C-alpha cells in the first residue's frame, strides 16, 4: 500500500519542467504517488513525515509556477522540502539522511534548486527580501518566494522581515503554510488571528484593476479611489496584520486544492509587489496515523508503514529529563517549565499534564523564552527552559543581557548537545560548550548517564544559584551508567601512561579506547569532566603531571573547547607535557549521517582514539 515501486507519473518526473508539462487532471494522481513514496521511504529511513505529507499539493503548485533553477524559493526551517527534492531530480532516498546520501533539509551544495540553507526557523522572509533586493540592485531577472509555516511565523525575526519586506516595494511572494502546527499545536495570538482571517481574491483583483485602469489615466482620481478602496476593503475583509505590514493578502486558500493554490501563487508572482498567500493545509495529510497524531509523526525513526508503530523504542536522555523535572516540580511549587514549540522533543509532555499551570509553550521563539525565564526568575520562580543546543544559540544575547548580568537563577536543559546525526549541520550541538563558557556566572553540567542527569538536574534546580545549564545528548546512555556527579572531575579509570579527558557520552568511547590501549601495552587514565564551567582542572592536572601526556576528546567545536582550556591550565601550572592532542568537531560544521559514522569520521570513536594515542606516544608507524 505504501511501497515506492508502484509509481508511474513520479517515475517520469526528472525536474520541475516535467511537473509543468503535466496536464492539470494528472496532478492529483501525482500527489497521491508522492505521498505513497514518502510514507514508504520514511518508514525505512526516518525523517520529517507529517510536515511533508501536508505540503505536497502546495509544493507541486509552486513548481508549476516557479523555475527553481533560476527563481529563488526559500524554505523556512526546511523540514517540509522532501516533495521539492523529489520534483527536482532527487528521488534516490536509499541513503536518505545518511553520509553520502540526500540531506533532510535544503542544501545549496546538493542542488541548484535549493536556494538557501535551512534548518532554523523564521529567517526566510529576511533572506528572500535580501535576494529580491540583490536582483533589483544587479538588474537581474528572476522571481523570489519564501515558504513559511505558521509555527515559524511565531518567531520575532519573521516580523522584522515582514515589516521591511511589506513596505519595500520589491516584487516577492510569501507563502504562509498554515496547518495550525509547528511541531506541536501552534500557540499564541498569531494562531488565533490566523484562525479568524477571511478574505476574497476578488478584492485583490479589483485593486489591481483600478490601479492599472484609472490611476494612469485620470489626474486627481487617486484620492477619491483610495477612499472608495478603503470603504470596500473594510466591508469585504477584516483588518489583518499583513495589511498593516504592506502586503497584498490572498487567502485563506485550501492548500490541498492544487488548482486554486497554483492560480493564487501565479497571480501573486505576476502582481509586481509584496504579496502574502495564505494557504490552509493539514499536517499528516493522507496517512491516517499522522493525521490523528501529527506531533508524533513530525520527526520519526523507522516505523511500520501499515500501522505507524515505531520499530525501535527505548529510554533516552530527553525522557529522563522530563520525568525528573516533573518529580522536582512535585516537590517545589516554584518550578516552571518552558519550551519553544518542542514539548514532545524535550520530554515535557508529562510535565504539562501534571502541572499545566506551570508549563509554558511560547512557540518558536527562543529569544522570548529566555527573556521570559529571566522575568520569572526575577520574581521568585525557578524556570527551566528545555531547548535544543542548536536553537539555544539564538538566545545568546538574552543569556548575557537578561540572565547573567543580574545573576538570575534560570536553568537550561540543553538537549541534543554534541553530535545529533541525521539532521545535519544546522542541528549539530557543536557550539554550546564554547558559547556557554563565555556567559558570566554560567555553570554547565555534562552528565554521562541517566543517573547523572537526574542528580545534576536536581542540583541545578534546587541547590545552585545563578544561571545553570545541564547539557545532554540525543538518544540513550552507553555502558557507563554510574553516577560520579559528586566530583567536578572524576578519575573513572586509573592509569600511568596517558591521560584521556572526556565528558558526556563520549566517556564510553574513551573507556573503550583505554581497554584497547591496555591490550597494546599502554596504560591510560581516564578523567571524566562533570562540570564544564567553571572548569575545575585539578583532577586533570594531577593526572597529567603523572602521565605527561593528554588527549582530550569532546563532541564540540575546536574554538573554545574544554581541551584548549586544559592545555592553557597545564601551561600555567608548569605541567610539562611530552605529548598532547585535542580531538573534537573542528569547525563544528558537520554533515548529516548516523552518529556512529560521524563520530568515526571526526576521530571520536574507540578505534580512532586508540590510534590517536598510539600516534601521539609512539609515532604513526606504531599506531
Q: Calculate the CA dihedral of residues 179, 181, 186, 189 and round it to 10 degrees.
A: -20
Cα–Cα dist 487/527, whole Å? 11
Catalytic residue among 366, 367, 425, 525: 366
Collapsed DSSP state (helix, strand, coil) of residue 383: strand
Residue 356 half-sphere exposure, CB side, CA atoms within 13 Å? Answer: 1
Cα–Cα dist 192/152, whole Å? 15
> Are 118 and 76 contacting, i.e. CB atoms less than 8 angstroms apart?
yes
Catalytic residue among 64, 358, 394, 443: 394
What's phi and psi for 512, nearest 5 deg?
-65, -40
**Which cell numbers in the block locate residue 556?**
564540540
Cα–Cα dist 487/481, whole Å? 16
Q: Which of 404, 377, 381, 370 has the alpha carbon at shortest distance from 533?
A: 404
| Those residues with Cβ within 8 angstroms of residue 24's Cβ, 6 or more apart along the chain or in another chain | 259
Q: Which of 336, 321, 430 has the alpha carbon at shortest distance from 381?
A: 336
Which residue intervals of 167-271 are DSSP H helices?
189-196, 201-213, 221-236, 241-245, 258-271
Determine whether 366 is an active site residue.
yes
User: How many other C-beta atoms are found inside a 10 Å radius of the C-beta of residue 257?
Assistant: 16
Cα–Cα dist 613/623, whole Å? 8
**Which cell numbers in the block locate residue 27?**
496532478
> Are 73 and 111 contacting, i.e. CB atoms less than 8 angstroms apart?
no
Determine whether 185 is an active site residue.
no
**Which cell numbers in the block locate residue 154?**
511565531
Catalytic residue among 283, 382, 565, 581: 283
State how far the alpha carbon of 435 is from the alpha carbons of 339, 392, 417, 488, 533, in Å.
20, 10, 13, 20, 11
Looking at residue 401, what DSSP letter applies?
I
Q: How far, rounded to the nearest angstrom, does the alpha carbon of residue 187 sit from its chain's CA centroid? A: 18
Q: Exposed (0-12), middle (13-18) or buried (19+): which is 24, by Cβ within 10 Å?
A: exposed
Determine whether 283 is an active site residue.
yes
Cα–Cα dist 388/386, whole Å? 7
| Those residues with Cβ within 8 angstroms of residue 359's Cβ, 6 or more apart along the chain or in another chain | 336, 337, 339, 343, 348, 351, 352
User: How many other C-beta atoms are found inside a 10 Å radius of the C-beta of residue 55?
Assistant: 30
**Residues for the chain: how many in total?**
623
Q: Which of 488, 453, 451, 492 has the alpha carbon at shortest distance from 472?
A: 453
Catalogue the active-site residues. Answer: 283, 366, 394
Amino acid at each position: 500500500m505504501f511501497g515506492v515501486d508502484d509509481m508511474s507519473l513520479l517515475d517520469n518526473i526528472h525536474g520541475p519542467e516535467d511537473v509543468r508539462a503535466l496536464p492539470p487532471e494528472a496532478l492529483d494522481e501525482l500527489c497521491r504517488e508522492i505521498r505513497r513514496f514518502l510514507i514508504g521511504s520514511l518508514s525505512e529511513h526516518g525523517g520529517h513525515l507529517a510536515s511533508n505529507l501536508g505540503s505536497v499539493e502546495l509544493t507541486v503548485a509552486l513548481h508549476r509556477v516557479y523555475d527553481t533553477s533560476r527563481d529563488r524559493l526559500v524554505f523556512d526551517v526546511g523540514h517540509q522540502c522532501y516533495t521539492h527534492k523529489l520534483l527536482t531530480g532527487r528521488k534516490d532516498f536509499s541513503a536518505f539522511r545518511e553520509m553520502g546520501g540526500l540531506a533532510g533539509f535544503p542544501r545549496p551544495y546538493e542542488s541548484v534548486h535549493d536556494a538557501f540553507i535551512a534548518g532554523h526557523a523564521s529567517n526566510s522572509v529576511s533572506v528572500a527580501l535580501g535576494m529580491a533586493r540583490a536582483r533589483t540592485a544587479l538588474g537581474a531577472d528572476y522571481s523570489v518566494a519564501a515558504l513559511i509555516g505558521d509555527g515559524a511565523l511565531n518567531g520575532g525575526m519573521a516580523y522584522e522581515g515582514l515589516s521591511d519586506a511589506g513596505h519595500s516595494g520589491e516584487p516577492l511572494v510569501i507563502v504562509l503554510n498554515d496547518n495550525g502546527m509547528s511541531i506541536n499545536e501552534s500557540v499564541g495570538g498569531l494562531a488565533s488571528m490566523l484562525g479568524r482571517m477571511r478574505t476574497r481574491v476578488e478584492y485583490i483583483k479589483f485593486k489591481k484593476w483600478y490601479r492599472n485602469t484609472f490611476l494612469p489615466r485620470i489626474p486627481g482620481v487617486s484620492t477619491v479611489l483610495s477612499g472608495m478602496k478603503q470603504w470596500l476593503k473594510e466591508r469585504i475583509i477584516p483588518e489583518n496584520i499583513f495589511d498593516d505590514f504592506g502586503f497584498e493578502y490572498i487567502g485563506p486558500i485550501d492548500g490541498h486544492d492544487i488548482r486554486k493554490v497554483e492560480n493564487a501563487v501565479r497571480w501573486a508572482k505576476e502582481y509586481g509587489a509584496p504579496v502574502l498567500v495564505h494557504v490552509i493545509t493539514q499536517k499528516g495529510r493522507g496517512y491516517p496515523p499522522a493525521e490523528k497524531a501529527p506531533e508524533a509523526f513530525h520527526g520519526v525513526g523507522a516505523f511500520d508503514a501499515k500501522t505507524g508503530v515505531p520499530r525501535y523504542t527505548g529510554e533516552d536522555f530527553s525522557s529522563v529529563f522530563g520525568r525528573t523535572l516533573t518529580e522536582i516540580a512535585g516537590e517545589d511549587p516554584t518550578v516552571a517549565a518552558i519550551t519553544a514549540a518542542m514539548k514532545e522533543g524535550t520530554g515535557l509532555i508529562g510535565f504539562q499534564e501534571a502541572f499545566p499551570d506551570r508549563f509554558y509553550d511560547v512557540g518558536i521563539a527562543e529569544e522570548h523564552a529566555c527573556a521570559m525565564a529571566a522575568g520569572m526568575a526575577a520574581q521568585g520562580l525557578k524556570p527551566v527552559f528545555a531547548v535544543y543546543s542548536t536553537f539555544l544559540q539564538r538566545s545568546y544575547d538574552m543569556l548575557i543581557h537578561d540572565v547573567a548580568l543580574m545573576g538570575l537563577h534560570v536553568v537550561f536543559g540543553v538537549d541534543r548537545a554534541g553530535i545529533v546525526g541525521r539532521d545535519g549541520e544546522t542541528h549539530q550541538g557543536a557550539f554550546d560548550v564554547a558559547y556557554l563558557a563565555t556567559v558570566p556566572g554560567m555553570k554547565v553540567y555534562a552528565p554521562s548517564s541517566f543517573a547523572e542527569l537526574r542528580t545534576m538536574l536536581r542540583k541545578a534546580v534546587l541547590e545552585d544559584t545563578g544561571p545553570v545549564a545541564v547539557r545532554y545528548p540525543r538518544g540513550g546512555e552507553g555502558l557507563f551508567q554510574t553516577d560520579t556527579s559528586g566530583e567536578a572531575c572524576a578519575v573513572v579509570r586509573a592509569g600511568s601512561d596517558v591521560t584521556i579527558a572526556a565528558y558526556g557520552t563520549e566517556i564510553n568511547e574513551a573507556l573503550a579506547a583505554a581497554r584497547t590501549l591496555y591490550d597494546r601495552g599502554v596504560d591510560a587514565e581516564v578523567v571524566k569532566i562533570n562540570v564544564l564551567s567553571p572548569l575545575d582542572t585539578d583532577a586533570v592536572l594531577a593526572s597529567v603531571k603523572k602521565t605527561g601526556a593528554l588527549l582530550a576528546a569532546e563532541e564540540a567545536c575546536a574554538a573554545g573547547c574544554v581541551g584548549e582550556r586544559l592545555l592553557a591550565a597545564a601551561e600555567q601550572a608548569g605541567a610539562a607535557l611530552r605529548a598532547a592532542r585535542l580531538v573534537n568537531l573542528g569547525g563544528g560544521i558537520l554533515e548529516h549521517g548516523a552518529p556512529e559514522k560521524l563520530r568515526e569520521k571526526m576521530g571520536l570513536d574507540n578505534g580512532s582514539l586508540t590510534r590517536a594515542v598510539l600516534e601521539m606516544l609512539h609515532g604513526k608507524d606504531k599506531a
